[in-house]
Amino acid sequence: MKKGNKYGIHRVIAPKGVLPQPANKIDNNMDEIYDNEILIDVQTLNIDSASFTQIEEQAKGDKSKIAEIMLGIVASQGKHRNPVTGSGGMLLGTVEKIGDALKGKRDLKVGDKIATLVSLSLTPLRIDKIKEIRPDVDQVDIDGKAILFESGIYAKIPEDMPEKLALSALDVAGAPAQTAKLVKPGDTVLIIGAGGKSGMLCCYEARKRAGVTGKVIGLCHSEKSTKRMQDLGFCDYVFSADATQPVAVLEKIEELTKGEMCDITINNVNITDTEMTSILCTKPTGIVYFFSMATSFTKAALGAEGVGSDVTMIVGNGYTKGHAEITLEILRESEKLRKIFTELYA
């Protein structure tokens, strides 16, 4: 086997010298793998929410057009990096082959079912056939192959829950795990996009970490998701609003916090122009965590400057130590949340 680079630079075709994620084209030839790669037989692609929403809108909801767009992305780039959002997703598959340099060094064997915890925007991918598209959960079943680099992280699919259930949660594992790191007892926390997949997990974790002296506020988009969050009972207050309208949301948060505003705001939405809502609802000494891949960090940085806010803004890193374990444990701890995730995503 050929010797490969830890970060997968050996797969980059253009431009030379960059890492696989920013590369415009990478090698997705699966006939031969390098000594530090893992070959995966892919079952399902879980496209990230911002990316799938954009593709679905571009295709006007036509599944055949969605398939055409996805196949075009992979054909041109050798990976699935949405050219508009720049984001990818992750995948579920079976380990087919392990490079010689990795044998015995990972807790993996051929035949193991895994979910990759690195973005499709850097993962060499070949799609042979698109079998089913499920727009309601941003998942696409395929026949295909993918490569996990030596530096790539993954999670074995647990035996105590269905594959699609685990996949749906692991797709957003960074958000609740980062929430667990950021939220302290007594904090007032605003979750924007509380009714979505990552939002529900973040609300649960925020409630757990803020404790009885803290306050968790959930902002949802629709009345349906608002009712769902109210029934879950993780938040002290849940309301429906348009997160692209910062003044209206600001007034509501001022009312709910008696003008104190929020210590931490976690943005999980999959649409643009919610940066200023996040910033204005947060104390100048507080933290905004942008998990959303629809975030414009130019708008966020210049917007905060424009309103004189010294808020600390954190890029939504999808990885933090123990994120897979934390997220799967949430589904084990909360029967109500597991039931909803099973109904919606599995």
Alpha carbon 45 to its chain centroid, in Å, reads: 13
342-346 own/partner pairs: CB under 8 Å, 24+ apart: 342/162, 342/165, 344/136, 344/137, 344/168, 344/197, 345/137, 345/139, 345/164, 345/165, 345/168, 345/197, 346/162, 346/164, 346/165, 346/168
> pTM of the entire structure?
0.88
Domains and CATH numbers, the chain: 9-157 (no CATH), 174-345 (3.40.50.720)
Confidence of residue 345 (pLDDT cuts 50, 70, 90): confident
Q: Looking at residues 122-134, what average pLDDT do you find?
A: 98
| Predicted local confidence at residue 152, as pLDDT | 95
DSSP 196: S
Q: Which of 103-107, 129-133, 257-261, 335-339 has the lowest mean pLDDT?
A: 103-107
In terms of Cα–Cα distance, which of 191, 179, 167, 210 is closest to 269?
A: 191
Query: Residues 233, 237, 242, CA angle at the centre, nearest 5°?
Result: 115
pLDDT (tens digit per residue) in 165-191: 999 899 899 999 999 999 999 999 999
Residues 6+ apart with CB under 8 A from 316: 174, 175, 178, 267, 289, 290, 291, 292, 293, 295
Can you give the pLDDT at residue 336? 95
Give SS3 for 271.
coil
Write out the two tokens for 81: 């990096």
Q: What is the pLDDT of residue 294?
A: 86
DSSP state string for 292-304: -TT--HHHHHHHH
pLDDT at 24: 98
- Which 3 state secondary structure label does DSSP give 344? helix
pLDDT digits (tens, 9 = 90+) for 79-120: 999 999 999 999 999 999 999 999 988 889 999 999 999 999
pLDDT at 346 over 80: no
Of the ranges 55-59, 126-130, 159-163, which one carries the lowest mean pLDDT score?
A: 159-163
How far is it, in rounded angstroms, from Cα 40 to Cα 114? Answer: 9
The strand pairing partners of 91, in sequence order, are 45
CA 67/CA 45 separation, integer angstroms: 12
pLDDT band with cut points at 50, 70 and 90 for residue 318: confident
Write down the pLDDT at residue 317.
85
